[in-house]
Amino acid sequence: MLRYTIHRLLLTIPVLVGISVVVFLIMALIPGDPATAILGAFATPENATKLRAELGLDRPLIEQYFTWAGNLLSGDFGRSYALNRPVLDELLERLGPTLLLAGSAMCVCVLLGLIAGLLAAVKQYTWVDQGLTLFTLIGISAPSFWLGLMAVSLFTVQLGWLPASGMYTPYGDESLGDLLVHLLMPAVTLGLVASSVIARLTRTSMLEQLRQDYVRTARAKGERETAVVIRHAFRNALVGLIPVLGLQAGFVLGGAVYIETVFQWPGIGRMLVNAISTRDILLVQGGVMMVATIYVFFNLLADLIQHALDPRIQHSHG
Partner 1 sequence: MPEPLLQFDRVTKEFDLYKNWFGKTSKRFRAVNEVTWQVEPGAALGIVGESGCGKSTMARMAVGLELPTSGEIRFAGKTLDKWLKEEALLLRQSVQMVFQDPSASLNPRQRIREILELQLQRLTDFRAEQRMQRMKEVLEQVQLPLVALDRYPHEFSGGQAQRISIARALISKPRLLLLDEPVSALDVSVQAQILLLLEEMRKELGVTYVFISHDLAVVEQLCPSVLVMYAGSIVESGPTNQLFQQRNHPYTDLLIRSVPVPGKSLELKSEEMANLENSQGCAFRNRCSKANQQCSQAPILKEVSGSMGGHECACHYPLSEAA
Partner 2 sequence: MVEKNTPALEFWQRLNRNRLSTVGLLMLGLIFVLCLITPWLPLPDPDATDLANRLKTPLTSNHLLGTDELGRDLLSRLLWGTRVSLVVGFVATLAAALVGSLIGLVSGYFQGWIDSGLMRGVDTLMAFPYMLLALAIVAAFGPGLLNALFAIAIVNVPFFARTVRGATISLVQREFVLAARLGGASHFGVLWRELLPNILPVIVVTISTTAGWMILETAGLSFLGLGAQPPTADLGSMLGEGRKLLFTAPHVSTLPGLVILILVISLNLLGDGVRDVLDPRLRGGALRSPQPRTEVLSAELGSAQVRSTEKLVIRNLTTELFQQGQAKPLVRNVDFELRPGECLGLVGESGCGKSVTALSLAALAASPPLRIASGTVELDGEDILRLPLRLLQDIRGKRVSYIFQDPLTTLNPVLTIGEQLIQVIRRHQSLSSRASYTEALHLLSRVRIPSPETRMKAYPHQLSGGMRQRVCIAIALANRPEVLIADEPTTALDVTIQAEILSLLNDLRKTTLKDSQTGKKTGLSVLFITHDLGVVSTICEKVAVMYAGQIVEFGETKSILESPQHPYTQALLACTPRLGAKHKVLGGIPGTPPPPGSYPSGCGFLDRCKVASVKCQDPVHLMQLSSNRQVRCVLKQGANA
Residues 2-41 that bind partner 1 (CB under 8 A): 10
Question: Looking at 124-132, 277-285, 295-303, 310-318, which segment touches partner 1 (CB under 8 A)?
Answer: 310-318
Does residue 45 belong to the site contacting partner 1 (CB under 8 A)? no
**143 interacts with partner 2 by CB under 8 A:** yes
User: Of 58, 77, 201, 219, nearest to 139 (Cα)?
Assistant: 201
- Output 2 or 157, the one with its CB closest to partner 2: 157
Residues between 97 and 136 that touch partner 2 (CB under 8 A): 121, 124-125
Query: Binder to partner 2 among 10, 73, 220, 318 (CB under 8 A)?
Result: 220
DSSP strands (E only) in 14-112: 79-80, 85-86
Instruction: CB nearer to partner 1: give 17 or 247.
Output: 17
Binding of residue 316 to partner 1 (CB under 8 A): yes
Q: Please give the size of the binding site for partner 1, defined by CB under 8 A.
A: 4
d(CA 256, CA 109): 13
C-beta pairs of 49-52 under 8 Å, 24+ apart in sequence? none
Q: What are phi and psi of 86, to 5 degrees?
A: -60, 140
Give the one entry of partner 2, partner 1, none that residue 169 binds, where binding means its C-beta sits below a cut-off of 5 to 8 angstroms depending on kind.
none
E strands in the chain: 79-80, 85-86
92 vs 150 by CB, closer to partner 2:
150
Q: Which stretch binds partner 2 (CB under 8 A): 14-22, 43-51, 63-71, 176-184?
A: 14-22
Strand partners, 85: 80
**CA dist., res. 306 & res. 5, Å (int):** 12
